[in-house]
Amino acid sequence: MLLRPSLFLPLWIFFLLGVYHAGGEISLKTGIVFVLYTLLMGGVYILNQIIDRESDRKNDKLFLLSEGHVSLKNAYIEMGALFVLSVFGSFFIDFEIFIVFLFSLSMGITYSVPPIETKGKPFLDIIWNGAGYGILAFFVGWLSLAELSRPMFIESIPYFFAVAAVFVNTTIPDIEGDREEGKVTTGVFLGKKNTLLLGVLLDLIAIIISYFLKNYICLIGSGFAFPIFMFAYIKRTKKTILFSFRAIPAILMIIVFYLMPVAIPLFLLVLGIQKVYYKKKFNMDYPAIFSGTDKDF
């Protein structure tokens, strides 16, 4: 579980959206690239936990490494193995995919590792997340089925803003812990109210761009998301904020299930395994879409 399988779900959503926009047919190449990209990003998630183990302890999150359930040495070994296997594997599959893998790896490293550490810098944290999921994961899915082309770049634009809208709200629960660690995330820099407003504006941009590009998938997802973002901005409670960034990926997941039903068993399997693992080992209900109290952060 150190790989953070819950983060695979949004990763897979945008990978599969790339596949769908490229034609929608699942090939053997698509399956291999899907596995390799999952392994690559699993390594990135481990790296993030290694760097963030102290702040994770203070923010009471991602406790497997921060509380010693997994040793630091084993985390480094697993991360290194995943990076080597995925990057070298992509080289033998397709050179364009290999280049996107290198971009993803470099963004994953610069996101977490000082001195660049964009996750601790306002607005850069938004760009890195929006590009990582909404653009690069989309590109990998597209390239697993079709050639690099102008439509690939155009179709990814609204997804960048949709991901950015969700991400800004995720910085809010960690504001206090990040401030203590000296990290100036977007949430720390803007404060809760302005960060929530930025999420609303980014989602609105995603809606407008989707409409003009006739990207009805992102238009539907962002459109359903808008009142949820607005409600979180108006109420500004823990429950509404948590719901805002947990519910939106769920909306896109439903759309992907409708467009590509083959994904349903895989998604449900990952969710089920996590539910059972955390319940049996730690007596936790995780992952949860709607949880928390009405107490403010």
With contact defined as beta carbons under 8 Å apart, do 112 and 47 qualify? yes
Residue 146 neighbours by CB under 8 Å, 6+ apart: 22, 23, 152
Q: Which CB contacts under 8 angstroms, 24+ apart, belong to 170-177?
A: 170/245, 171/125, 171/195, 172/196, 172/241, 172/297, 173/59, 173/238, 173/241, 173/242, 173/297, 174/55, 174/59, 174/61, 175/297, 176/59, 176/297, 177/55, 177/58, 177/59
The DSSP code sequence of 43-67 is HHHHHHHHHTHHHHHHTT--HHHHT
What is the distance of C-alpha 21 from the center of its chain? 19
Q: Which domains does the chain carry?
A: 5-282 (1.10.600)
Full pLDDT tens readout for the chain, 297 residues: 566 777 788 899 999 999 999 998 888 999 999 999 999 999 999 998 888 776 666 555 555 665 556 677 788 899 999 999 999 999 999 999 999 999 999 999 999 998 899 999 999 999 999 999 999 999 999 999 999 999 999 999 999 999 999 999 999 998 988 888 788 999 999 999 999 999 999 999 999 999 999 999 999 999 999 999 999 999 999 999 999 988 878 888 899 999 999 889 888 887 777 767 556 655 656 666 544 444 555
Angle ∠(33,39,44) on CA atoms, nearest 5: 125
CA distance 111 to 240: 27
What is this structure's pTM? 0.89
pLDDT, tens digit (0-9, with 9 covering 90-100), for 144-168: 999 999 999 999 999 999 999 999 9
- pLDDT digit string, tens, across residues 46-84: 998 888 776 666 555 555 665 556 677 788 899 999 999
Give the pLDDT confidence score for residue 98 in this predicted structure.
97
Residue 202 structure tokens: 């980014």
Q: What is the pLDDT of residue 76?
A: 87
